[in-house]
């Protein structure tokens, strides 16, 4: 099988699991392009806190869906699925192999398995919910969502104002829980794909997370956050409801001591990684690769390519 005939290779896993390194290794070997499914790397000027590929890494392979949104903009999983599917179809028709990489489970699911797309919208209700989120706090609306749609509430972080507002909007407009409407039939991707997950021993992954946070702080995470605020990006913008940015904003406002903020970033990133693992573990299509130390992206890429070749026989 020629690389152009491979299914779309999908690399998923928790934060700090080495997805970018493996995707780059595959892209270079196959002359493939990379489609990012990391919903935070979509945003410009959010480089350090999202562990966005470095300029050198971006030069190693063509990347799509990186650095194309202003932090004030909102972008849904449904929008991503529509646009990424169209792009992937065009790339495959041109004979280009594609590697999808990311840890945003909802965006990966929307791309591959179909997405919940509802015409249930009311701009007035949405505006009122957003106003309440700003004045009362996202946690208050999250508690409200727990009463009307406990399943969806359990999937969302209490600070995820953007998705909480959307779930409540759907409920108040339709009278039906978002989670119920999500169970409507989905239309899967019309291209072949093979997803792989990177799985580390939990204690090793946590050490990698803590080391990554330390590097982010050393590289200037605080400066990056101050710059975004100076640009006029609201602290309540969906883009800034992200681990690392949220805690650093609290420090800048004087609500947290700096060391406490850094410790919370580490703790919240570990919690986020646990949620990512839980999400992806529910997907029986994913082929899990146990990662050994020392981490060698070349070895992981070898294992993926052997699996692709075996499936082609």
Per residue of the chain (313 residues), give pLDDT as tens.
666 678 999 999 999 999 999 999 999 999 999 999 999 999 999 999 999 999 999 999 999 999 999 999 988 888 899 899 999 999 999 999 999 999 999 899 989 998 665 556 778 888 899 999 999 999 999 999 999 999 999 999 999 999 999 999 988 887 889 988 878 777 899 999 999 999 999 999 999 999 999 999 999 999 999 999 999 999 988 899 899 999 999 999 999 999 999 999 999 999 999 999 999 999 999 999 999 889 999 999 999 999 998 877 7
> How far from chain centre, in Å, is Cα 176?
27
Place of tokens 């840890």: 103
Of 266, 258, 249, 259, which is closest to residue 213 (Cα–Cα)?
266
249-286 burial, b at 16+ Cβ within 10 Å, e below that, comes to bbbbeeebeeeebbebbbebbbebbeebbebbeeeeeb
Closest CA to 13 of 101, 95, 96: 101
Q: What's the confidence (pLDDT) of residue 310?
A: 86
Collapsing DSSP to helix, strand or coil, 243 comes out as coil
Tokens of 230: 């100076």
Give the total residue count for the chain: 313
Reported as a single tens digit per residue, the pLDDT across 155-207 is 999 999 999 999 999 888 878 899 888 787 778 999 999 999 999 999 999 99
| Confidence at residue 291, expressed as pLDDT on a 0 to 100 scale | 95
Which domains does the chain possess?
A: 3-114+187-209+277-312 (3.40.50.300), 123-182 (1.10.20.140)
Q: How many CB atoms lie within 10 A of CB 236?
A: 16
Q: What is the pLDDT of residue 4?
A: 67
**Distance set, CA 285 to CA 10, 11, 14, 248 (Å):** 11, 12, 17, 37
């Amino acid at each position: 099988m020629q690389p152009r005939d491979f299914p779309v290779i999908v690399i998923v896993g928790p934060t700090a699991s080495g997805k970018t390194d493996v995707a780059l290794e595959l892209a270079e070997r196959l002359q493939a392009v990379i489609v990012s499914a990391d919903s935070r790397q979509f945003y410009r000027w959010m480089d350090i806190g999202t562990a966005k590929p470095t300029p050198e890494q971006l030069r190693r392979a063509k990347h799509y869906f990186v650095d194309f949104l202003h932090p004030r903009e909102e972008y849904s999983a449904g929008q991503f699925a529509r646009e990424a599917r169209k792009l992937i179809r065009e790339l495959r028709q041109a004979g280009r192999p594609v590697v999808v990489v990311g840890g945003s489970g909802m965006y990966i699911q929307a791309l591959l398995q179909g997405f919940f797309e509802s015409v249930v919208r009311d701009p007035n209700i949405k505006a009122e919910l957003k106003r309440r989120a700003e004045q009362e706090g996202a946690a208050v609306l999250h508690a409200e969502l727990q009463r009307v749609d406990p399943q969806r509430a359990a999937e969302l972080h209490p600070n995820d104002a953007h998705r909480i507002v959307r779930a409540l909007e759907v409920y108040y407009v339709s009278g039906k829980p978002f989670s119920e409407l999500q169970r409507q039939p989905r239309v899967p991707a019309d291209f072949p794909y093979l997803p792989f997950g990177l799985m580390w021993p939990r204690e090793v992954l946590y050490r990698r997370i803590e080391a990554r946070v330390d590097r982010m702080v050393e590289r200037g995470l605080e400066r990056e956050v101050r710059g975004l605020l100076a640009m006029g990006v609201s602290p309540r913008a969906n883009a800034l409801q992200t681990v690392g940015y949220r805690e650093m904003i609290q420090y800048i406002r004087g609500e947290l001591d700096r060391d406490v903020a850094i410790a919370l970033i580490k703790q919240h990133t570990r919690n986020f990684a646990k949620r990512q693992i839980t999400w992806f573990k529910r997907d029986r299509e994913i082929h899990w690769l146990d990662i050994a130390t020392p981490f060698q992206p070349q070895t992981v890429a070898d294992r993926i390519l052997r699996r692709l070749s075996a499936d082609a026989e």
